[in-house]
Amino acid sequence: MNEHSSHSAARGGPSLVRIAVAFLVFAIVWRVLWVVVPMIFQPALEPRAVTPRGDLAADEQATIELFRGASPAVVFISTLRRSRSFFTLDVTEREQGTGTGFVWDSAGTIVTNYHVLASGNRWAVTLADHATYAAEVVGTDPTLDLAVLKIDAPSRKLPALALGSSYDLQVGQKVFAIGNPFGFDQTLTTGVISGLGRSIRSVAGNAITGVIQTDADINPGNSGGPLLDSAGRVIGVNTAMFSPSGTSIGIGFAVPVDQVNRAVARIIQAGRPEEPLRAGLGVLIADDRFARLQGVDGAIVSEVLPQSSGERAGLRSSELLPDGSYRMDVITRVNDVRVRVLADLHDAFRGRSPGEEVTLEFERDGASYRATVPLQGLD
């Protein structure tokens, strides 16, 4: 390389460096100006002011209080199955499903659906405070899709729900369901009673009558949870939904609490459901709702079958009169035990055998009658 070339390279090197540095400085200054200038010439952006909403509406406050009061009594039930491998003899435990239940009393009694438990051989109950306890089955009644569990938990953790009645429910009144749909615990859904006196098929294959229909969402996992009235009382146990797709479409069902109350008491006492009726009068009794609509406190005889015990007792079928009223016989007592609803009549006959005599009291057209008659067998 000659001397001229060496001087040119020496001069060119620093020039390129100066250009690169100048370009870098320009880029930095441009970036700073891009950020800073808008901040100088534009006003600072702040979140919009929040508009106060005022007090919650009265019905909202009532719903919130109802949930706060009832939710501590609603539990999460896990159904488990323990099995042993045939080849390795290893024991494994898998969750078969989940459901809902609720605290029946401070002794640790939990009520739920039979179908929630049916697929398992071990069960766990998780309370509202997320404490989990192993559960034992006290007894079941598949014909009503009911089951009773027992857990050993401190009584202070077991607030029982208040019980209402179901015989005097009305279509249109508000209802509330608390459960664990799809595994999401402590979920509240609301709606109204859409229908009464429905009949659904139980897991045992029989018909459950007098069922409550509601449009409150009852999805998979809600089964076994309480259906509450606006006073926070249990009026039914959510047991099924009707949906071809398997998701809620606004038609859910609950077993009425009047049936639940009797069944649970029997299960706790005897560890098994009530014995089926073996004897009766051979008469058909009107639905309790019809009796309430007529202002009747008793069991209305709808139809008396020919040559039945009821016919021998002098009972007559109900008759619609020209003025739109009914002439009807109303059974008010069996062996001096007061009969107000159909279930009272069943209780009076339960455990009795065909041929056993009972004394009936009934009313017709304002007059009272009394008859002693042997019961007949039921097919």
In a domain, 313, yes or no: yes
Total residue length of the chain:
379
Question: In this predicted model, what pLDDT tens digit does every residue of 190-249 receive, in sequence order?
Answer: 999 999 888 888 777 777 888 999 988 887 778 899 999 999 999 999 987 655 555 556
Residues 287 and 255 in one domain: no
314 has pLDDT over 90: yes
* Tokens found for residue 366: 């304002």
| Selected catalytic residue, list 78, 141, 145, 258 | 145
**Least confident window among 24-38, 72-86, 158-172, 333-347:** 24-38
Look at the chain and report how many structural domains it folds into.
Answer: 4
Question: In this predicted model, what pLDDT tens digit does every residue of 29-41 receive, in sequence order?
Answer: 777 777 666 666 6
Radius of gyration from C-alpha coordinates of the chain: 35
pLDDT, position 189: 92
**Least confident window among 5-9, 12-16, 62-66:** 5-9
Domain housing 15 = 1-46
| Selected catalytic residue, list 115, 215, 217, 248 | 115
257-270 vs 342-349: helix crossing angle, rounded to 10: 30
pLDDT, position 38: 66
Name the burial class of residue 141, with classes exposed (0-12), middle (13-18) and buried (19+) by CB atoms within 10 angstroms of its CB.
buried
Name the burial class of residue 132, with classes exposed (0-12), middle (13-18) and buried (19+) by CB atoms within 10 angstroms of its CB.
middle
Residues 149 and 99 in one domain: yes
Name the burial class of residue 160, with classes exposed (0-12), middle (13-18) and buried (19+) by CB atoms within 10 angstroms of its CB.
middle
In a domain, 191, yes or no: yes
Residues 261 and 284 in one domain: no
145 in active site:
yes
Characterise 117 by phi-psi region: left (phi > 0), alpha (psi -120 to 50), beta (else): alpha
* Tokens found for residue 181: 């749909």
Q: Which residues pair with 234 in a beta bridge?
A: 163, 228
Question: What DSSP character marks residue 156?
Answer: G
Question: Residue 237, SS3?
Answer: strand
Concatenating the DSSP letter of every residue in 76-135 gives EEEEEEEEE-TTT--EEEEEEEEEEEEE-STT-EEEE-HHHHTT-SEEEEE-TTS-EEEE
Taking residues 99-105, what's their average pLDDT?
94
In a domain, 85, yes or no: yes
Residues 31 and 73 in one domain: no
Question: In this predicted model, what pLDDT tens digit does every residue of 37-92 receive, in sequence order?
Answer: 666 666 667 788 888 988 889 999 999 999 999 999 999 998 887 655 555 545 55
Which helix or strand (DSSP H or E) is residue 349 part of?
helix 342-349
Between 110 and 183, residue with greater pLDDT: 110
10 has pLDDT over 50: no
Question: Residue 40, SS3?
Answer: helix
Domain termination residue (choose one: 225, 249, 270): 270
Name the pLDDT band for 309 (thresholds 50, 70, 90): very high
CATH label of the domain that carries residue 312? 2.30.42.10
Range list of β-strands (E), 142-202:
146-151, 174-179, 187-201
Q: Decide if 304 contacts 317 (C-beta within 8 A).
A: yes
pLDDT, position 138: 92
pLDDT, position 39: 64
Question: In this predicted model, what pLDDT tens digit does every residue of 110-156 receive, in sequence order?
Answer: 999 998 888 778 889 999 999 999 999 999 888 889 999 999 999 99
Name the pLDDT band for 106 (thresholds 50, 70, 90): very high
Question: In this predicted model, what pLDDT tens digit does every residue of 274-284 receive, in sequence order?
Answer: 666 788 899 98
Q: What's the N-to-C CA distance of the chain in angstroms?
A: 124
315 has pLDDT over 90: yes
pLDDT, position 1: 46
pLDDT, position 9: 46
Percent above pLDDT 70 for the chain: 84
Residues 257 and 286 in one domain: no
Instruction: Report the C-alpha gap between 334 and 182 in whole angstroms.
Output: 47
Q: Decide if 351 contacts 365 (C-beta within 8 A).
A: no
| Selected catalytic residue, list 166, 223, 248, 318 | 223
In a domain, 169, yes or no: no
119 in active site:
no
130 in active site:
no
